[in-house]
Amino acid sequence: MRFVGIDPSTKTGFIALDERGQVIVQNELTGFGSVDPKRMRTMIVDIMAHVKEEKVIAIESVGFASQQAVQNGGITWGVRMALDGRKLNYIEVAPNAV
C-alpha cells in the first residue's frame, strides 16, 4: 500500500510513502520544455505515470496569494481531472497545513 502526496506547481512535488511512512518515490516534476500548454500537459502526464492504485492521494490546493495562481490552478485542475479520469479519489490539503 502506498500513500501519495502531490504539490502541484510549476515544479510539482511528488512523494509516495509505504505503510510505515518510508519514502518509496520522491521526485520534482517539471514537464518538457518551457512553453505552455505543452509543459503543463507533459507534467500532468508525468505525474499520472507515477500514480498507481493508491490507498490515499493528497493534493495541495492552490495558494491564491501566489504570483502564479492562475498557472498553478491550471496544473492543479489538470491533475484532478486526470485522477478523476482514472476513477481515483483524493483529498485536498490547504497550503498552510502542509
pLDDT digits (tens, 9 = 90+) for 71-97: 888 899 999 999 999 999 999 998 887
Task: Return the SS3 of 35.
Answer: coil
- The larger pLDDT score, comparing residue 68 to residue 4, is at 4
Q: What is the pLDDT of residue 67?
A: 61
What the block records as the C-alpha cell of 62 is: 492552490
Q: Residue 72 is part of a domain; what is its CATH number?
A: 3.30.420.10
Look up residue 38 and give its DSSP letter. Answer: H
Residue 46 has pLDDT above 70, yes or no: yes
State the total domains in the chain.
1
What the block records as the C-alpha cell of 73 is: 490552478
pLDDT-based confidence at 64, cuts 50/70/90?
Answer: low
| Domain containing residue 82 | 2-97
Q: How far is it, in rounded angstroms, from Cα 44 to Cα 34?
A: 14
The model's pLDDT over 3-40, given as tens digits with 9 standing for 90+, comes to 999 999 889 999 999 999 999 999 999 999 989 899 99
pTM, two decimals, is 0.90
